[in-house]
Chain A
Amino acid sequence: MSTGWLIGSAVIAVIVAPLIGGLLRGIDRKLTAHMQGRIGPPIMQPFYDVIKLFGKERCVAGKAQLVFGYAYLTLIVTAVVFFALRQDLLVVLFILFLGCIFLAIGALSVKSPYSQLGGHRELLQFLAYEPILLLAVVPIALKLQSFRIATIFESGQPLLPHLWLSFIALLIVLAIVMRKSPFDISSSEHAHQELVRGLVTEYAGPYLALIEIAHWYEMVLLLSILGLFWVVGSLWWLSIIIALGSWFIILIVDNISARLTWSWMLRFTWVAGISLIGSNILFINLGWM
């Protein structure tokens, strides 16, 4: 893969990722509405919301919060760029984690109790999914002897048949990152009013729009990581189907489950996620997968 082509794909990724993310959010709202027996907003609704927010009066609780909000967006975009450049998967994840931490610090930097509680809960969510996301990379490295995304593209064999246990663990992570029930404890993707949008209570107008766009990037990045599980050969389009399929599973789970407590979330994600990935690593070492 030539360098020029890679840089081109990074530029395209930065431009296209939020468009895909916004479109997915629009389809999400439409599908959710249909599942609830409603008609739902137009598919372009998330774009209308964001453009409207850019036109609102500026208001910020403190300059620190603003800096953290921008840091969140910048780091998520950087993670997307590194992903498109097919760099080390660990580096992509660490940049993503740092971005998410900045979002929580931003919420904690203001005195509003809703924002504080949202920030604390975001850190708990982070504690729940970060180890799983990080550990899920280990079986990939065991299989391919490398953390680089480029190696996955060059390996010539799909990962999913060997790593389907880790894949299931990543679905839990996807539900938390997409802020869906039962894991939407810090701020819900829909207007469910948990903690008055907790994490983003104090972001208003254009700054809320920036956070929303960063969230789209984050969602698309996570879906792309899921797509990596079947990205080789003539069946590369299966990666898109896998990513969209997992996204649809999360939507269904969101609509059939209630929000649960943080302690339940922590127990569930750690026990289920770590045992799934642990057994995956074990089976690879035993040569069964």
Chain B
Amino acid sequence: MSLLTVSNLTKRYRRGGKVVTAVDDVSFHIEPGETLALAGPSGSGKSTIAGLVLRLIEPDAGRIEFEGDDFLALRGAKLRARRARLQMVFQDPLAAFNPRATVARVLDDPLRIHGIASRAERPRRIAALLERVGLAADLAPRAIHEISGGQRQRVAIARAIATGPSLIVLDEAVSALDVSVRGQILDLLLDLQSQERIAYLFISHDLGVVRALARRVILLDAGRIAESGDARAVIDAPQSAIGRALVAAAPRLKRTTQDAS
């Protein structure tokens, strides 16, 4: 059984009197412990799909099955309990966190809200989470705005794994990081995946990272699936127009200077 099955998902927005279909009849599935990537240009619907899967946005049509349940039908306590299994990491953790919070507070919230650890137990759990993502426990009292961007994204990952999720939506989660930090965060994500068997819905505009990280990829164009399949096969030989355009546009290290043309 798939971990997540999305069927015929559709979301329309009204913008200046016009109806824009941001996500148009999209279906896909994610298996336990695998990474599925969503890639596409701006406005192709990547982040809207993330919001729909997380139920931050309600769809106009379609069905989402998560861990065997009709996720869109869950309400109240059942929905809250299931949310612990479905977590998220966004591009900019500074925007995602309360800017006045400390690192400890950011990690204390999910442990408390989901009733995972008692008050007395939580400091120890927070220290363990920090250690799990490669941070020192003495970072806990620091303000979230004081630490570096790479440290903040590690805290965001610690917050996401605090509730024991089976799926994490990573929406451009490494896009704003310096390249030297990005590699470390990708290593951490892979390590967590192999240890805890967490599946990732990895949303990125960067085909190089997608190809290196994901098993399968879906290429989106204007809210529709243009192409999908094995990540390396799709990116090495794209069949769709958008796939070819994305591959052609990806920056490549050039060893020789080209003449201006």
A binds B: no
Q: Which residues from chain A sit less than 8 Å from chain B, CB to CB? A: none
